[in-house]
Amino acid sequence: MRFQRCKILFGEENFKKLQKTKILILGVGGVGSYALDCLYRSGVTNITILDYDRFDETNQNRQIGSEAIGELKTKRLKELYPNIKTINQKMDMEWVKSFDFEPFDIVIDSADTTRVKIELAKRVYKKLIMSTGSAKRYDTSKIKVASIWKTEGDALARKIRNELKKARFNKNFTVIFSPEEDKCKDRGSCVAVTGAFGLTICSEVIKRVVG
């Protein structure tokens, strides 16, 4: 059976709980696509993904489905993972403020825009697992999981913390981050790290549901 080894690991009842968990993945690039793959292979049957971008040749070093250059990421990933639901939509401030997050048990933020990530945290911090900077790094051993207030060594996490403090927001939410020092100045990236971020997010989901 396809998920037999997952059932052995999690237990029958916990596996059923995981299957029924409703998950929203915001951004399915180098991090989000691996979170999707891991959750799908772990038996989750109710996954919705949001993205508006098309695959580009430069995505091919790190993104699942990126061989389909020019195709919408949501369309291609729906072909690879037929049971998922898709939203082809830009994740901007207006969308975050108006979208109904209530049906979802867990929201995974693997998007890039800082202002949008901050607004999302304010709305869904109880359900949120956020990825911060995974580019410019290649050492997976540095990856950590912590409250946003316990992150260190990551410029994006620091900016998010500072802006939340200015807004007098003090709630906790889970962040995947790496304090590894940047290895380049531009947009260099390695799938060893971006993929590991996504797999770590998947692990955090499983722990939250079955642990």
10-residue averages of pLDDT along the chain (211 residues)? 95 96 97 98 97 95 95 98 96 95 98 93 97 92 97 94 95 96 90 97 97 83
**Any bridge partners for residue 108, and if so which?**
25, 129
Instruction: Note the pLDDT of residue 53.
Output: 96
* Cβ pair 93, 116 in contact under 8 A: yes
Tokens standing for residue 19: 């299957």
Query: For residues 112 and 52, what is the distance between their CA atoms, to the nearest angstrom?
Result: 13
- DSSP 8-state class, residue 188: -
Element (H, E) at 88: strand 85-88
Count of Cβ atoms closer than 10 Å to residue 45 Cβ: 14
Element (H, E) at 176: strand 174-177
Query: For residues 14 and 210, what is the distance between their CA atoms, to the nearest angstrom?
Result: 5
* Cβ pair 176, 200 in contact under 8 A: yes
Numbers of helices and strands, H then E, in the chain: 8, 7
Query: For residues 62 and 58, what is the distance between their CA atoms, to the nearest angstrom?
Result: 9
* Cβ pair 28, 39 in contact under 8 A: no
pTM of the model: 0.96
Instruction: Note the pLDDT of residue 138.
Output: 94
Instruction: Note the pLDDT of residue 1.
Output: 85
Nearest to 205 by CA among 115, 94, 104, 70: 104
Instruction: Note the pLDDT of residue 39.
Output: 98
Query: For residues 185 and 8, what is the distance between their CA atoms, to the nearest angstrom?
Result: 45
Dihedral of alpha carbons 193, 152, 208, 23, sign: negative
Dihedral of alpha carbons 160, 210, 86, 143, sign: positive
Instruction: Note the pLDDT of residue 149.
Output: 97
Three-state SS at 130: strand
Tokens standing for residue 9: 């690991």
For the domain covering 4-210, report its CATH number.
Answer: 3.40.50.720
